[in-house]
Amino acid sequence: MNSQQYEELCRYFLAEKLGTSVEKIKSIRIPNPTRPGLPEYQHQVDLYWEIESELGTYLHIANAKWRGNNKVDQQEVMLLQQVKQKIAAHKALMLTNQGYTAGAIAVAKDEGIALHIVKPNIDLSILPTQGQNSIQAKLHEVASTSSQPVFLHEVVHKAFDFREVSIQNRLSSSISRSSSYQTKIISGYETKVGGGYSHKASTQSGSRGSVKTHSGAPVTKSGGPSKTK
């Protein structure tokens, strides 16, 4: 499989997962904002699509990396993150067939880049070697006549997901409600003080607690012994 065949497989994969047409997932070049005195350049984006809701339009990009043996490495994920920032994309995905190094996964988790493994699950010899329309036509033909999917998919890192935040909020709310408690005042307990005397709270209605000295004589609120008749 060459790089163009793999890019078209990833375009087909995204269209299937998103429930849209392959025509809405484009391959484009986006001009970088220019500065006076600096040369112009463009960002080449393998796969580009927009998702629109009542709240706004969200831009997504994906990089398709076909590899013979090597895994996608750290610097490649960092480069994708830089492109994401430059073109103000909301979400970036890396797609490859061989997996990711530990450094690539670390960067993806830090920067919120989604990592997926997408592998062909068809006889590659039947695919045209070039031409987006020709390759897509063959992928759709194989998919319509075979009981097996044309790709195999594995999630390595999904990155940020608003649904996960919603679940966590519900869990936190549930824990908060279950941890509510009531404070009850208990009478008739003893509190040991280092001096060796006890403080007994009265259990009689309307009466106040008293402190007894070692000799048992009651002590007034001011701390002095009360007068006895």
Q: Has residue 68 been placed in a domain?
A: yes
- Is residue 181 in some structural domain? no
**Residue 206 or 103, more confident:** 103
**What pTM does this model have?**
0.68
Q: Answer yes or no: is 208 within a domain.
A: no
* Segments forming the whole domain that contains residue 122: 3-161
Domain with 7 in it: what CATH number? 3.40.1350.10
Does residue 144 lie within any of the structural domains? yes
> Identity (one letter) of the amino acid at 119?
K
Residues 6 or more apart from 34 whose CB is under 8 A from it? 40
pLDDT of 182 > 70? The answer is no
pLDDT in tens, 60-96: 999 999 999 999 999 999 999 999 999 999 999 999 9
Q: Give percent of the chain with pLDDT exceeding 70.
A: 69
Give the residue from 126, 161, 157 showing the smallest Cα distance to 1.
Answer: 126
Residue 214 burial (CB count, 10 A): 8
Given a contact cutoff of 8 angstroms between Cβ atoms, the answer to whether 120 and 151 are in contact is: yes
Return the sign of the alpha-carbon dihedral for residues 79, 85, 87, 88.
positive
